[in-house]
Structure 1
């Protein structure tokens, strides 16, 4: 059985790791290279960097951060935020990232997923989907702009489309669970994992060590992504993995 991956997420703004709720009340958490190295040494399986400002000025800072981080860590590094063209993908990969995470641009221009996979390989292309259940509970829609805009696009159908277009992985954030610290959205994860055959990373809602066990015992998610629980030292990656091993969930120690 493949081991389950534990992935810390670093929101980066102007070269610093920040944390807030829905990008408001951002607090400086520290230097991304130092934090990334710490997580690397702690046993993280991968790292995700999100450039949350994704401005033109911020992009240069982010490239510097990616280059310095890639020199210090020896686990796969995924970078997202403001990636909207093949040139953006090439630039981020050249800076040392192993994968790129494409979010809004995949929704606005799905051809970018196709072209990116053809030129750089499926293993480089992660499509990040932010999904929210609609009011009547019948389906989930893709949202953009931090969950504020409902695109009306069915999340499960779109997941199938990006898989066909060559995406190597889906990073699925539940906007209903995000920030609640009440656990991952297992209903959404199961619905999506049932319709695709590529790996799915669970994101949104993690608040305790037990939530990692819940998501792996109750869904087919291949990986779980979290931020606050690690940044604020509420749990260490080592503690999470030891807990999972106790329940015979395969992890890389």
Structure 2
């Protein structure tokens, strides 16, 4: 059976509010995270990703109370990232209701963290988040950044993705900084390259602007598609995205969680 492609709304949170910008800059308030998460779950979201986008920059922990309140009202898998620096951080997030935990900057600073998390909780718990931008200085043409896209590393994005999966990452959340918030479509070249090196599921993120943008990302190799502003502004619903995917022959989950395949 073909696995269903997932549609994942993303809540970028700062100071307890959902925010969204363009190319990770000029963040603006988009609403209450608990209310939005419940809204998207009702629309049929397969998962919800909750990213505390300023936790690492501000050198603080993720907002656990917001995570807990969200988990109490939302009964689809919840991935939480931002400010995760240790195995204990992961344990605490799981204890307040997260199903999976996203790690980015801390894993780059200390790659052994990936294996430590996977060994204790299982690879399925660990989502490696990669904030990627185009960079001619790298072999692949893509470089990894940290601290919410503010700090560029010397890591080739494909090399890091390959290493992270070998160390135990169970999933890759690939955020295109160049496409983020532009609504010009996903970076399909980046998705294809990640699919070639990744032995685990790939989530495409950054650039969705219309319903027709999602199927090309799946066909380029993504196992899931993630978006934020098109959902927050009401430009699209989760159901509309799934309808568009079905129309292109992509298998998605139906309203009751069953797998439906376009005919």
The bucket for the TM-score relative to the shorter chain is over 0.9
Q: CA–CA distance in 2 between the matches of 1:58 and 1:102?
A: 12
CA contact (8 A) 1:14 1:58 kept: no
CA contact (8 A) 2:20 2:181 kept: no
Aligned-pair Cα RMSD in Å: 1.6
The alpha-carbon deviation at position 20 of structure 1 amounts to 2.5
Q: CA–CA distance in 2 between the matches of 1:57 and 1:83?
A: 9
**Counterparts of 1:66-145 in structure 2 under 5 Å?**
66-135=67-136, 138-139=139-140, 140-145=142-147
Determine if the alignment matches structure 1 residue 247 to structure 2 residue 248: yes
CA contact (8 A) 1:22 1:146 kept: no
Aligned to 1:171: 173
Aligned to 2:210: 208
Runs of 4 or more consecutive aligned structure 1 residues displaced over 6 Å after TM superposition? none
Aligned to 2:17: 16
The alpha-carbon deviation at position 248 of structure 1 amounts to 1.4
CA contact (8 A) 2:54 2:148 kept: no
Which ranges in structure 1 are unaligned for 5 or more consecutive residues? none
CA contact (8 A) 2:24 2:180 kept: no
CA contact (8 A) 1:177 1:204 kept: yes
Residues 200-243 of structure 1 deviation map (CA, whole Å, 9 limit, x = unaligned)? 000111111111022122x1100011000000000111111111
Aligned to 1:190: 192
Residues 91 and 137 (structure 1), Cα distance of their counterparts in 2 relative to 1, 3 Å cut = closer
Residues 142 and 94 (structure 1), Cα distance of their counterparts in 2 relative to 1, 3 Å cut = same
Q: CA–CA distance in 1 between the matches of 2:133 and 2:26?
A: 23
Q: CA–CA distance in 1 between the matches of 2:108 and 2:27?
A: 27
Residues 116-143 of structure 1 deviation map (CA, whole Å, 9 limit, x = unaligned)? 0000111110000112222367421112
The alpha-carbon deviation at position 80 of structure 1 amounts to 0.6
Q: Indicate the SS of the match to 1:225.
A: strand
Moved more, 87-96 or 141-150: 141-150
Q: CA–CA distance in 1 between the matches of 2:3 and 2:191?
A: 18
**Counterparts of 1:151-162 in structure 2 under 5 Å?**
151-162=153-164
Determine if the alignment matches structure 1 residue 49 to structure 2 residue 50: yes
Which ranges in structure 2 are unaligned for 5 or more consecutive residues? 255-263
Q: Indicate the SS of the match to 2:197.
A: coil
Q: CA–CA distance in 1 between the matches of 2:15 and 2:130?
A: 24
Aligned to 2:150: 148
CA contact (8 A) 2:23 2:178 kept: no
Q: CA–CA distance in 2 between the matches of 1:113 and 1:157?
A: 15
Question: TM-score, normalized by length of structure 1?
Answer: 0.93
Residues 32 and 162 (structure 1), Cα distance of their counterparts in 2 relative to 1, 3 Å cut = same
Q: Indicate the SS of the match to 2:130.
A: strand
The alpha-carbon deviation at position 111 of structure 1 amounts to 0.6
